[in-house]
Amino acid sequence: MKTAVNRSARDAAAYIKAKKDKSPSIGIITGSGLDFAGLIERGDEIPYKEIQGFPCSKVRGHKNRVMIGKCGGENVIILQGRVHYYEGYSMEDITFPVKVLSEIGVKNIILTNAAGSMKTFLKPGDFMVINDHINLTGINPLRGLPDHKDRSRFVDMSQAHDRDLINKTLELGFGMGIMLHCGVLAAVSGPSYETPAEIQMIRTLGADAVCMSTIPEVIMSRYLGMKVLGLSVITNYAAGLGTSSLRHEEVVKVARSRSKDAVRLLSAIIKYMPV
């Protein structure tokens, strides 16, 4: 496993705050092909590699930089890219950026990803608001963490995805003419795509879409007391449901094609979010 040394979320947060002198309460982590650079005004940039302990992805479609700026009058921080378990990173690496956001003062986090559809009504290019999830990665990011004086590792996940934010997002999307579905996201470890038999199994479990990220970040966000809104861009049909081969390049291409509508939607959501 790749694991950074001499790591401190507090130190990383202090470095970011000292460089940009802003304290955003809204954070966004982007998925493959999504960077949302147009979401914020006069955005300042910090490459991940400048921040001690911050992991960098080598996967196409992840820019590995922090952006901070204004959106609708609110300070917003965007992490353009994430690392993945399939890259060889540990759960500590994967969730370290979430801990940094918490230390900065983020109270509301928007987690986005590219996902494969397991339902015929979810087409490539569609958006799915995540209303629940199934963790099939085989590991939990809270494993080994001690109980904290202000929080317990036994986190209640019955409302892991904030219902008020989900309902408001669906309402806003309808008003803006952006079609939004609502569904359950499953996460697997990757990096190989699932077999048709595996997809049938996951569908039977109740999932609507599948990805290789996001859910560990959701769990850590809830442990740290943040409200979570998850948004998937459906980039392909999962194995056995489509006619074309599954390729990461196509995933990135489809995600990028919906970036403008995603920015419109997120801009409206941010104006609603409590700070």
* CB 166, CB 231: distance < 8 Å: no
Q: What is the pLDDT of residues 160-178, one digit of tens each?
A: 999 999 999 999 999 999 9
* CB 30, CB 78: distance < 8 Å: yes
Q: Report the range of poorest mean pLDDT among 15-29, 146-160, 244-258.
A: 244-258
What does pTM read for this prediction?
Answer: 0.92
Confidence of residue 239 (pLDDT cuts 50, 70, 90): confident
Confidence of residue 258 (pLDDT cuts 50, 70, 90): confident
Confidence of residue 275 (pLDDT cuts 50, 70, 90): low
What confidence score (pLDDT) does residue 238 get?
85
Which CATH code of 3.40.50.1580, 3.40.50.150, 3.40.50.2300, 3.30.2270.10 fits the domain covering 9-272?
A: 3.40.50.1580
Sole residue written with tokens 């965007």: 78
Residues near 268 by beta carbon (within 8 Å), at least 6 away in sequence: 172, 176
- On average, the pLDDT of the chain sits at 89
- Determine whether 260 is exposed, middle or buried from the number of CB atoms within 10 Å of its CB (0-12, 13-18, 19+): exposed
Nearest to 89 by CA among 152, 216, 1: 1
Most confidently modeled of 78-82, 130-134, 260-264?
Answer: 130-134
Q: Report the range of poorest mean pLDDT among 37-46, 73-82, 106-115, 170-179.
A: 37-46
**Which residues belong to the active site?**
32, 62, 84, 86-87, 114, 212-213, 236, 248
Across 176-194, average pLDDT? 94
